Amino acid sequence: MIEGLMALLSAFLGGFCANMIVGYYHLSGFLVWVVWSLCILFGIGIISAIYEKFKKYKYRVVGIIVGFILGSLAVGFFNISSGMGVFFTYIFIVGGCFEYAKEFDKKGRLVSEEKNDYQGDQLFLGISLVAKMTKIDGRVSSQEAEWVSGLLDMICEHYGGDQKIRETCKNVFNSAKDDNKTIYQYAKEYQQVSNHEECEAIYEDLWVIAMADGELHSIEQETLRNVLGYLRLDSGLYEKYFHKYCSYQNNEKSYYESSDSSLEKCYEILKCSLEDSMDTIKKAYRKLASEYHPDKIQSKGLPEAFVIFANEKFKEINHVYEMIKKSKEGGKI
């Protein structure tokens, strides 16, 4: 739509300039075609430049337009007739709208400016994918929020404890979570800057998020099936991770629910005691989850056997933490 409108405006501007030049200099024949070609290119360049500026300052442009509309309404409503009155009314309202819109401009550029400080494309696209998955069922659950917080802590640790990158990633997450792009658009962009192994790794992360609350909802199943194509991954991976995560979840649930000492076992795994507060337990959980996080383990180039063990341990840590949370909230395990 926008591209078509730009082409139309470019043709109109180029044609207008060409007609003016041809008419003024009384050109004919081959020169007419040359002038028309150059003017069309000129029109495309001008319209493209205007469009790029508009994209950069779109909120300010909209703010000025809205300000003039509100100013006109105010002048008419209050019957302001003096020149100075009209002038100051417009200045006050347009200026206010412009300043308000400028804040949106700053917020809109904040994330993109911060991205330039890091090797951002892949990292931020991955976080955007995660953000979309957490809200695929309409809301971000407490379990998903905990997982994301642990992920941000791990990224922060990877960058030497730099809190700025954590805050940047958090901004990216919040922005992507509610923007108009789909998870499939982010998946396609992620695939373009990643290799096959990295695409499969982020796909497994999407499974971890989907299973964070202990259930695989229908919308999550559909998304996990469809996103494979955008990541250029084999469709058989869905079954692979379905058996890996869903079977594990059911087996673990059965084990802990059938054990008389299940709660004590959960505390033991997190290296906590029954008397510990939820804040203490949460800190212990985050520390262990960070140590055994799949992305962190894989980045160390450890033997495959340890990677498999760490993945199972990570899932166990998440599961027992949920069991303890449930018991603290008065539920049953």
Same domain membership, residue 172 and residue 84: no
273 token code pair: 């005691």
Last residue of a domain, one of 75, 96, 116: 116
Question: Does residue 61 carry a pLDDT above 80?
Answer: no
56-85 burial, b at 16+ Cβ within 10 Å, e below that, comes to: ebebbbbbbebbeebbeeebeeeebeeeee
Both 134 and 234 in one domain: the answer is yes
Taking all residues of the chain, what is their mean pLDDT, rounded to a whole number? 75
Look up the pTM and report it: 0.48
8 A C-beta contact, residue 30 and residue 22: no
* Assigned domain for 254 exists: no
Does the residue 226 lie in any domain?
yes
Residue 50 contacts residue 20 (beta carbons within 8 Å): no
Is the same domain home to 91 and 46? no
Last residue of a domain, one of 91, 116, 141: 116
Helix axes 218-230, 196-210, angle to 10 degrees: 170
Q: What is the DSSP letter of 245?
A: I
Distance CA 317, CA 284 (A): 10
* 73 in any annotated domain: yes
At residue 275 the predicted structure's pLDDT band, cuts being 50, 70 and 90, is: confident
> Based on the domain organization, do 68 and 106 belong to the same domain?
yes
Evaluate whether residue 171 is within a structural domain. yes
pLDDT tier for residue 109 given thresholds of 50, 70 and 90:
very low
**Residue 237 to residue 210: CA distance in whole angstroms:** 15
Whether residue 35 lies inside any domain: the answer is yes
Same domain, 131 and 172: yes
Residues 21, 35 contacting (CB under 8 angstroms): yes
pLDDT tens digits for range 228-252: 999 999 988 998 888 877 764 554 4
CA dihedral 290, 293, 297, 300 (to 10 degrees): -50
| Element of type H or E holding 231 | none
Same domain, 226 and 320: no
Does 98 map to a domain? yes
How many whole angstroms separate alpha carbon 218 and alpha carbon 71?
A: 50
Same domain for 40 and 68, yes or no, is no
Please give the share of the chain, as a percent, with pLDDT higher than 90.
11
Q: 61 and 46 in one domain?
A: no
Q: Which two tokens stand for residue 90?
A: 């417009």
Residues 90 and 129 in one domain: no
Among 85-99, 141-155, 194-208, 307-321, whose mean pLDDT is lowest? 85-99
- What span, in angstroms and rounded, lies between the C-alpha atoms of 287 and 8? 58
Q: Are residues 241 and 311 in the same domain?
A: no
Residue with tokens 């953000």: 131
Q: How many domains does the chain have?
A: 4
Q: Are 63 and 101 in contact (CB under 8 A)?
A: yes
Q: What is the pLDDT of residues 113-151, one digit of tens each?
A: 444 444 457 888 999 999 999 988 888 887 788 778 878
Confidence label for 53 from pLDDT (cuts 50, 70 and 90): low
- 109, 124: one domain: no
Domain holding 293: CATH number? 1.10.287.110
Among 99, 119, 104, 228, smallest CA distance to 165 is for 119
Which residue segment(s) compose the domain that 108 sits in? 57-116
Question: In this structure, is residue 205 part of a structural domain?
Answer: yes
pLDDT attached to residue 89: 67
State the angle between helix axes of 120-134 and 142-158 in degrees (0 to 180), rounded to the nearest 10.
170
- Do residues 234 and 170 share a domain? yes
Of 19-28, 91-100, 172-181, give the lowest mean pLDDT range.
Answer: 91-100
Residue pointed to by tokens 């949920």? 322
